[in-house]
Chains A and B, each alone.
Chain A
Amino acid sequence: MPFKSTPQPFKAAINAVTIGVGDKAMTIGGENVLPLYTFDAPIANPPKVGFEITDTGLELAIPGIAALYEGTSTIGERAKKAETLEGVDFISLKFAGADPNGENKSAEDCAAVAKEVASATSLPIVVEGCGNAEKDAALFEKVADALADRNVLFMSAKEENYKAVGAAVGLAYGQKVGAESSVDINLAKQLNVLLSQLGVKNENIAINPGSAAVGYGFEYVASTMERIKAAALSQNDTSLQMPIVTPVASEAFNVKEAVVSEEDMPEWGPAEQRGIDMEISTAVSAITYGSNAVILRHPESVKTVSSFVKAMTE
């Protein structure tokens, strides 16, 4: 019997969320099929690939990244270089230096950095905090003000600070709010509901329901994302129809496989390549399970992952 393909698009769809302004603005989400199921219906907006820049410049320790930035001295110049990368859709600016347990840069200083980066690039911008809930809330408020006209996505509002972040980023400045929960569909849903009760509109929310490097509990992430997409599409659960943005960089480059030096583990080969491999495997897996955008650190990963997206969606 010949195989007869029966497309099965859903009646429900993931929300389309636009980030950035002008020609380079990007839209994530919008699809009415499971991740990469192009055979059921065309994917409205293929997953997007972002490149991470940190305010501290710690990633410059990686030779491949240092090479990209050769001849630059300011973060603005670095952002300009990053814009030229093959396959990059957006810039993710991470304020690692704002951490109160680290450099503890003030929110005002960070806002100035954000302005510098914004004036250097016309790509959409995602802002990542330092992870400290209280500091991020203060930081995001200043940066949301500084980038008021850029339609920025802020990563992220968590259970501890969703009110402050939601009110500042989502309500006061009308920017996009990233809702972060830890690998549990119900927590993800609860945070989305809380944000919308606060007054943030669903179409202004993207979610990060947790991330992990492959081999480091990624199966939990995969299962959570899978269930979120299933509930969003097959059950038309409006409080789970937000597109997923997964920060891969910080996970992939922090695991043993990426960190241990070649001197310590000669049989593993060059450390940089291992980091790239971890990043690509994690990003590709995340996209396969439902990420609508991934944030990456290495130029090589950006190139490979964007070509993977192309191959899968065109």
Chain B
Amino acid sequence: MSVLTDLIYAGSDAVAGLTEGLVNDAIKQYGAEKTIAFPDTAYFLPTIYAATGVKVKTLGDLPACVDVLKSLISKKEDLGEALNAGLATAVGAEIIEALKYVGKEDPYAEETGIGFVPDPVIRSLGVPLVTGDIPGVAVVLGKSEDASAAADIVKDYQSKGILTFLVGDIIDQIADAGVKMGLEFRVVPLGHDVTAVTHAVTVAIRAALIFGNITPGDLPGLLAYTKERVLAFVNTFGALSEIVVSAGAGAIALGFPVIVDIDLAENQVPGALESVLDHKETVKHSLNLRGIKIKLKEIPIPVAFAAAFEGEIIRKNDMHAEFSSQKNPAFELVAMRDENEIEDHKLTLVGPDIDGEAPVGLPLGIVVEIYGAKMQPDFEPVIERKLHHWLNYIEGVMHTGQRNLIHIRINKEAYEKGLRLKDLAEALYCMVMDEFDSVVDKCQVTLYTEKDTVQQLLDTVAVPRYDARDERLNSMNDESCDTFYSCILCQSFAPSHVCIITPERLGLCGAVSWLDAKATKELTPLGPCQPVPKEGCLDETKGIYTEVNKAVETASQGMVHNVTLYSLMQDPMTSCGCFECICGIEPFSNGVIIVNREYKGMTPLGMSFGELASMTGGGVQTPGFMGHGRHFISSKKFISAEGGVERIVWMPKELKDAVGDKLNATAKELYGIDNFIDMIGDETITEDPEALLNFLTEKGHPVLNLAPLM
């Protein structure tokens, strides 16, 4: 047998023997009819009640429980079995503690510890536990070789809002160190006997019964709840007795990792039982092991931080410092890292700060490194785009641009209030952890201000990363992905509208790309973007999928039944009203015109953007008319069912200029046409359909050879 399981079984045996003896003594002394109960609880002996459904009311009920607990000690050489023996210890400890209350009003009257935690306290603790206001629960037990180190650990938990239960002599050590104790201080001494640990266990168990609706007797349900929802862990100090080891096994069975401060060497069980010899590491390691994240409530910087400052303009004369890609190398980058590569909340400035005479002009490299179990490289640009907003939220800071074309100014007032570069890092850290906590577990921010270093990082780290992202964006297509996303962000005013977002067709608002939708789903699982499996293809050219139709039908509450992804004429996708562009058929040429929201003039259809919008929006399907985003125009999927971009015969000049290069590239790739954009009419050429037809004929526009649209 391994040393570990040996120890567990020895401890469980000892507790079982002790329990049996005490039960028999108590029955002899008081009789089997004598009531046994913890004060102020509706859950009897909670561990026994939750695990088995048995309601222990009298001493006579106990012998049966002792038999059950003995049966849990199988002595089999198997860690899972040994952990069950640990549960037996928990049950034994509970019985021993409950016996203390037999014949005594308050057995803990003479103790620093409070003993059993009554139900009302759990109800009041439950709410902050559920909301995350209490981010976790620490059970600290034993006696530390180094009292001040143990006190520092408890203080650290206290400052993080973690609820700490103390068991054993460590209570006195912590009290002597001057740590304030009591429920309101979130440091709660339970008792000096090791069995008092049961009072922490029953808190977790009653939380499962009260807040988790766990049915008493549903042991698997109970264990799943405590493991997943009760973010507790155990720290032991000093040498381990076999009883402590066995109780620890019980904790592990409930899903609570145990961190000890002695060397267990090969007896460690990764993730469940680990040694941390350096007390300075105990807190960090414990929180990590249990996946507890601490949120900062306020951003500790010397100036205000709010969305209200976003529009702040800083003029040259008010400026203290400036970072501009036009004058110095400057960039910002969010990069995903492995867990061990970075340290959470490490903020570093490499190079000079902004002290000195205004105007200070420096190079700047902002590197935000992120690790997260659920993080994906695709989220990097989504988070990176937020840097712009967050830096602008800082009072006295202005930010424009992105990637390696940025411009940041800090005004004199903010500088005088004490704002330095590290505060920028702090703000970014806090916001990453706040807004992206579902995907980010660790974040480290480094600012570089030495010219050579910034230039080197820009060339070797940032630019290759940007390029790789662009490469990925360009290579992403509807064929290679297996999931589309629905987006119903606009349903508040267009109740039956649903966008189906694919890698090559972004939302019609232009603001939600496939990557954005994917990230939105991860960050807000129940939010507006939901995955739609790319399954049930009925027509590849038109883009008809049974799963897409199903999703549209559900999300539109039955108003829209079928949509195609790539057709303008058959079941075109609906529009809310916030489309960047509208595309509509132009009957004279058999082509389509596209008009963008900003264009105020008339189109060859005889309708302005507003008039077209009124017949396209509102979640209705109007074959021949469709709203879409600007980026969709140069997509190979743009009305590909009707022949694709070669149908485009007219666009406002501004739109032509904006999408020209990309559209030319697409036309070249699809049809081998050079400078396709020059064949497309605009308002400077004509707004009259017949004149447009003449223009198209003159240019030899390919649409004239295509089959009729209708």
Contacts and interface: CB of A to CB of B under 8 A. Distances in A.
Interface of A: 137, 141, 145, 163-164, 166-168, 171-173, 183-187, 190, 193-194, 198-199, 201, 223, 227, 230-231, 234-235
A92 to B, nearest CB: 24
A186 B131 contact: no
Nearest to B213: A199
A187 B524 CA distance: 12
Contact of A167 (B131, B488, B528): B131
Given A199-B211, A230-B557, A186 B492 contact: yes
B660 interface: no
A172 B557 contact: no
Contacts of A223: 495
Interface stretch (B119-127, B174-182, B306-314, B356-364): B119-127
A235 B528 CA distance: 19
A145 B210 contact: no
Contacts of B622: none
B120 A145 contact: yes
B124 A194 contact: no
Contacts of A166: 130
Contacts of A186: 488, 491-492, 528
Contacts of A230: 557
Contacts of B133: 164
Given A190-B526, A234-B558, A167 B491 contact: no
A138 to B, nearest CB: 9
A223 B488 CA distance: 17
B558 A235 contact: yes
Contacts of B124: 141, 172
B123 A184 contact: no
A184 B491 contact: yes
Interface in B242-265: none
A227 B130 contact: no
Contacts of B131: 163-164, 167
B127 A172 contact: yes
A201 B213 CA distance: 9
**Most central of A166, A171, A193, A235 by chain B CB within 10 Å:** A171
B212 interface: yes
Interface string B110-125: 0000000000100110
B527 interface: yes
Interface in B83-111: none
Top 4 closest pairs, chain A to chain B, by CB? A167-B130, A172-B123, A184-B492, A163-B131
A294 to B, nearest CB: 24
A157 to B, nearest CB: 12
Interface in B503-528: 526-528
A172 B527 contact: no
A168 B130 CA distance: 9
A167 B127 contact: yes
8 contacts: A137-B127, A141-B127, A163-B130, A164-B127, A167-B126, A183-B492, A231-B557, A235-B557
Nearest to A172: B123
A193 B123 CA distance: 23
Contact of B210 (A171, A194, A198): A171
A197 to B, nearest CB: 8
B526 A227 contact: no
A230 to B, nearest CB: 7
A10 to B, nearest CB: 13
Contacts of B554: 235
A172 B526 contact: no
Contact of B130 (A145, A185, A198): A198
A235 B492 CA distance: 19
Contacts of A168: 123, 126-127
Nearest to B124: A141
B491 A185 contact: yes
Nearest to B554: A235
Contacts of B120: 145
A185 B493 CA distance: 11
Nearest to B488: A186
B123 A145 contact: yes
Interface string B541-557: 00000000000001001
A223 to B, nearest CB: 7
A185 B126 CA distance: 30
Contacts of A194: 526
Contacts of B558: 234-235
Interface in B126-157: 126-127, 130-133
A171 B495 contact: no
Interface in B484-500: 488, 491-492, 495
A194 B524 CA distance: 11
B415 to A, nearest CB: 34
A186 B210 CA distance: 29
Contacts of B492: 183-184, 186-187
Given A183-B492, A185-B495, A227-B557, A171 B528 contact: no
A199 to B, nearest CB: 5
**Most central of B211, B212, B213, B491 by chain A CB within 10 Å:** B211
Contacts of B132: 163
Contacts of A167: 126-127, 130-131, 211
B83 to A, nearest CB: 26
B625 to A, nearest CB: 24
Nearest to A168: B127
A168 to B, nearest CB: 5
